[in-house]
């Protein structure tokens, strides 16, 4: 299997053949004029324009314009691809559950490339999970009397990052590796409400490097707390 191949102005039959037979082996990129119809949770139309379309071996499909990180249209992994040839090349990308269909109509494909892309290894440092780990090892970072009980404590309203106790009752901690916003406060409030409804004495706190003004205001209104803690970044690749 070659590392990569390139087809300049490929015939529709070539594109069909490659999309149907090489899709599991390569990341396939088409550059061409396309109109895109989508129907599923919502529906959308992207009018004829030159866009870059990528098909990955796991079934995910991305349609990119010249702007922004987010694709214009996309289908997640495990989607199926079918190709029909008419006046235009018709590519159907279907996801079964929930049912969603992306229909790509292409009057012309400028180029097609096949790339033997690998997954590679990816290591993330400074994650929320690492922050929880640090607090579990050094509970005095929160308070002298804090005793961690359980990570990922399941409630009907989501998982509590870290549940512990202090001399005044339970303490629920919600971790964010970047600035905590309103959603983090609301999330914590759900867990605190849940244990309160069960009759427990409970406090709640956000653990994050910073918190937005509006989130801090809401936090105080709800009688919740904020603990300032930054995730540890790997020293060797710190910002210059």
Judged by CB under 8 A, the chain residues 94 through 133 that form the site for a copy of itself are 99-101, 103, 110-111, 113, 115-127
Question: Could you say whether residue 51 binds a copy of itself (CB under 8 A)?
Answer: yes
Instruction: Select from 132-140, 152-160, 166-174, 200-208 the region that touches a copy of itself (CB under 8 A).
Output: 152-160
**Interaction between residue 240 and a copy of itself (CB under 8 A):** yes
Query: Could you tell me the smallest distance in angstroms from the CB atom of residue 46 to a copy of itself?
Result: 5
CA angle, residues 199, 200, 201, in degrees to nearest 5? 125
The count of C-alpha atoms lying within 13 angstroms of the C-alpha of 208, restricted to the half-sphere facing its C-beta, is 21
Could you give the CA distance from residue 55 to residue 140 in angstroms, rounded to a whole number?
49
**In the complex, what is the shortest distance from the CB of residue 142 to a copy of itself, in angstroms, rounded to a whole number?**
21
The CA R_g of the chain, rounded to the nearest whole Å, is 25
Cα–Cα distance, 102 to 88 (Å, whole number) = 15
Token output for 70: 């987010």
Instruction: Report which DSSP code applies to 142.
Output: T
Q: Is residue 62 within 8 Å of 71, Cβ to Cβ?
A: yes
The candidate with the shortest Cα–Cα distance to 224, out of 194, 186, 175, 198, is: 186
Closer residue to a copy of itself (CB): 84 or 145: 84
- Using rule CB under 8 A, residue 87 touches a copy of itself: no
Tokens at 73, concatenated = 């249209």
Question: Minimum Å distance from CB 179 to a copy of itself?
Answer: 9
Residue 62 interacts with a copy of itself (CB under 8 A): yes or no: yes
Contact with a copy of itself (CB under 8 A): which of 82, 159, 220, 221?
221
Q: Is residue 199 near a copy of itself by the rule CB under 8 A?
A: no
Residue 21 in contact with a copy of itself, rule: CB under 8 A: no
Taking the complex as a whole, the smallest distance from the CB of residue 115 to a copy of itself amounts, in Å, to 5
Is 1 a binder of a copy of itself (CB under 8 A)? no
Among 11-19, 143-151, 159-167, 183-191, the segment contacting a copy of itself (CB under 8 A) = 183-191
Does position 158 interact with a copy of itself (CB under 8 A)? The reply is yes
Q: Judged by CB under 8 A, which of 82, 159, 201, 217 binds a copy of itself?
A: 217
Q: Tokens representing 146?
A: 């804090």
List 16, 23, 64, 203, residue binding a copy of itself (CB under 8 A):
64
Residue 20's CB: how many other CB atoms inside 10 A?
Answer: 11
Q: Are 187 and 180 in contact (CB under 8 A)?
A: no
**Binding of a copy of itself at residue 159 (CB under 8 A)?**
no
Which two tokens mark 226? Answer: 């904020």
């Amino acid at each position: 299997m070659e590392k990569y191949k390139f087809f300049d102005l490929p015939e529709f039959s070539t594109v069909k053949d490659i999309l149907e037979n090489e899709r599991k082996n390569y990341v396939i990129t088409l550059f061409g004029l396309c109109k895109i119809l989508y129907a599923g949770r919502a529906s959308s139309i992207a009018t004829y324009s030159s866009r870059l379309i990528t098909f990955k071996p796991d079934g995910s499909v991305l349609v990119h314009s010249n702007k922004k990180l987010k694709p214009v249209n996309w289908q997640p992994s495990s989607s199926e691809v079918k190709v029909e040839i008419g006046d235009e090349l018709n590519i159907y990308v279907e996801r079964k559950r929930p049912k969603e269909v992306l229909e790509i109509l292409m009057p012309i494909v400028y180029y097609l490339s096949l790339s033997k892309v690998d997954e590679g290894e990816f290591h993330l440092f400074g994650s929320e999970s690492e922050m929880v780990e640090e607090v579990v090892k050094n509970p005095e970072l929160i308070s002298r009397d804090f005793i961690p009980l359980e990570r990922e404590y399941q409630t009907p309203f989501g998982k509590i990052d870290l549940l512990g106790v202090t001399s005044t009752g339970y303490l629920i901690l919600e971790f964010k590796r970047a600035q905590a916003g309103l959603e983090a406060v609301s999330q914590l409030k759900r867990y605190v409400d849940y244990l309160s409804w069960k009759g427990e004495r409970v406090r709640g706190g956000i653990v994050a490097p910073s918190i937005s003004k509006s989130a801090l205001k809401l936090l105080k209104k709800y009688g919740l707390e904020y603990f300032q803690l930054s995730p540890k970044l790997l020293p060797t690749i710190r910002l210059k």
